[in-house]
């Protein structure tokens, strides 16, 4: 099953033969007339298996009617809710309030969805095992909607969250369980990039979330780029999903036409990117994988923040590749990642 979208590019001649400019693994084709042909039956990841019992329940909510964008709210199921009482609230009859983890999925800004089985499995684990209320947001994909469309959608999501907090959470799940004083923005790959941009916008005062409060942000192997290659990019370890050609293609498809990899949307320290020295960034957890070609760029991001005096923790997973958590949500590395994120979230919570 395929679907075509996007109008012909401005200035395209109707007499010129249409040719394929970009073809990503048969999932996306960008044609010379500006048309995008996208397979709607595949997202580029092996379908994840699920455990026999689910640790969380979920529901979908429209958060951006203008673009018909949805988010999925996860809350711990009854079997795992008892774990939420690690802090205790003094009332055995009332369910404990939980930190809110806003999650953005990966996919190079070009593929993936909040309801894809792999990302769904990741959010099930995060909700049930941290535990937390997880808000997993969809966003518009490139090349039909190039950056900063995804970042704009994330800002809309923040506005939705702010409205929920200001109204005392009209959504009953959030009203019952959400602790808006402990909000974390998180994401893997492209989603980690989005979480960074949200943290910068909030820390710069360009975006507000009050009366909610951001306690930290979590970048899982974030999708950053730059014209100058890092060592790990130049060495280009043979990842099962993200290779250097795939990485470069995602950059071309997601950036505005003609932009280089130093564009502020992808390079947080590019020549036109905002300086971060004076930005009040919340504490950050940056997770990298040993065999990820983006490893050095993400580690360099953490090092730059640390040099500025920003609170940041870097954790490296030995023997792993880019995207190991959504690729295998129920594996041993996923188990350890849950422990790392839990320690960060509840460690921050205990200090707030």
Question: Mind telling me the catalytic residues?
Answer: 189
Q: Check if the beta carbon of residue 70 is closer than 8 Å to that of residue 120.
A: no
Q: Measured between alpha carbons, how far is residue 259 from residues 21, 140, 254 in Å? A: 16, 19, 10
3-class secondary-structure state, position 286: strand
Which two structure tokens, joined as six digits, stand for 269? 């320290």
Diameter of the chain measured on Cα atoms: 73
Single out the residue of 85, 49, 108 nearest to residue 244, CA to CA. 108
CB distance 70 to 52 below 8 Å: no
Q: How many CB atoms lie within 10 A of CB 93?
A: 4
**Total H helices, total E strands in the chain:** 10, 12
SS3 3: strand
How many Å apart are CA 300 and CA 43, to the nearest integer? 29
What is the spatial distance between Cα 319 and Cα 289, in angstroms, rounded to a whole number?
7
The Cα 299–Cα 269 span in angstroms is: 13
């Amino acid at each position: 099953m395929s679907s075509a979208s996007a109008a012909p590019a401005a200035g395209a001649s109707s007499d010129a033969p249409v040719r394929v400019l970009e073809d990503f693994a048969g999932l996306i084709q960008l044609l010379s007339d500006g048309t995008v042909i996208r397979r709607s039956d595949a997202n580029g990841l092996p379908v994840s298996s699920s455990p026999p019992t689910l640790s969380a329940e979920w529901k979908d909510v429209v958060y951006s009617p203008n673009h018909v964008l949805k988010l999925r709210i996860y809350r711990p199921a009854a079997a795992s809710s008892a774990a939420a009482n690690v802090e205790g609230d003094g009332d055995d009859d009332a369910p404990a309030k939980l930190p809110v983890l806003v999650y953005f999925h990966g996919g190079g800004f070009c593929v993936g969805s909040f309801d894809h089985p792999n990302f769904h499995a990741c959010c099930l684990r995060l909700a049930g095992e941290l535990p937390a209320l997880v808000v997993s947001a969809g966003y518009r994909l490139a090349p039909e909607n190039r950056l900063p469309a995804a970042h704009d959608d994330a800002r809309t999501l923040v506005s939705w969250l702010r409205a929920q907090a200001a109204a005392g959470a009209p959504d009953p799940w959030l009203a019952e369980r959400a602790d808006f004083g402990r909000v974390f923005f998180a994401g893997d790959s492209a989603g980690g990039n989005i979480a960074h941009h949200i943290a910068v916008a909030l820390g710069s005062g360009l975006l507000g979330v009050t009366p909610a409060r951001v306690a930290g942000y979590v970048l899982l192997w974030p999708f950053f780029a730059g014209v100058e290659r890092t060592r790990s990019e130049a060495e280009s370890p043979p990842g099962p999903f993200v290779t250097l050609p795939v990485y470069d293609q995602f950059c071309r498809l997601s950036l505005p036409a003609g932009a280089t990899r130093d564009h502020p949307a992808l390079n947080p320290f590019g020549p036109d990117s905002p300086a971060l020295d004076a930005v009040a960034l919340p504490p950050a957890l940056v997770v990298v994988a040993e065999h990820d070609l983006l490893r050095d760029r993400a580690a360099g991001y953490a090092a730059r923040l640390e040099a500025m005096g920003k609170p940041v923790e870097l954790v490296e997973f030995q023997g792993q590749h880019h995207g190991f958590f959504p690729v295998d949500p129920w594996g041993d590395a996923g188990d350890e990642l849950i422990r790392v994120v839990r320690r960060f979230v509840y460690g921050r919570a205990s200090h707030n």
